[in-house]
Amino acid sequence: MAASLVRFVRNGFGRSLNVARQSAAIVQTRTTTTETRPTVRPKDPVTHTQLSEFGEYIAEILPKYVQQVQVTCFNELELMIHPEGIIPVLTFLKDHTNAQFHNMTDLTAVDVPTRQYRFEIVYNMLSLRYNSRIRVKTYTDELSPLDSSVPVHQAADWYEREIWDMFGVFFANHPDLRRILTDYGFEGHPFRKDFPLSGYVEVRYDDEVKRVVAEPVELAQEFRKFDLNSPWEAFPAYREPKDAPKLESGDKPAK
Residues in contact with another protein by CB under 8 A are 2-4, 6, 8, 14-15, 23-24, 57, 60-68, 80, 82, 84-85, 88, 91-92, 94-98, 100, 112, 114-117, 129, 137, 139, 235, 238
Output 138 or 171, the one with its CB closest to another protein: 138
- For 19, the enclosing helix (H) or strand (E) is none
Smallest distance, another protein to C-beta of residue 249, A: 27
CA geometry: angle at 212 spanning 180 and 158, to 5°? 5
Output 68 or 182, the one with its CB closest to another protein: 68
Smallest distance, another protein to C-beta of residue 107, A: 19
DSSP of 157-181, one letter per residue? HHHHHHHHHHH---EET-S----SS
Q: Report d(CA 78, CA 112) in Å as an integer.
A: 18
Q: Report d(CA 49, CA 60) in Å as an integer.
A: 16
Which residues, in sequence order, are bridge partners of residue 109? 121
Smallest distance, another protein to C-beta of residue 9, A: 10
Q: Report d(CA 225, CA 246) in Å as an integer.
A: 38
Smallest distance, another protein to C-beta of residue 116, A: 5
Smallest distance, another protein to C-beta of residue 35, A: 31
Side chain identity at residue 194, one-letter code: D
Output 212 or 237, the one with its CB closest to another protein: 237
Helix, strand and coil in the chain, % to nearest 5: 20, 20, 60
Output 55 or 85, the one with its CB closest to another protein: 85
Output 149 or 177, the one with its CB closest to another protein: 149
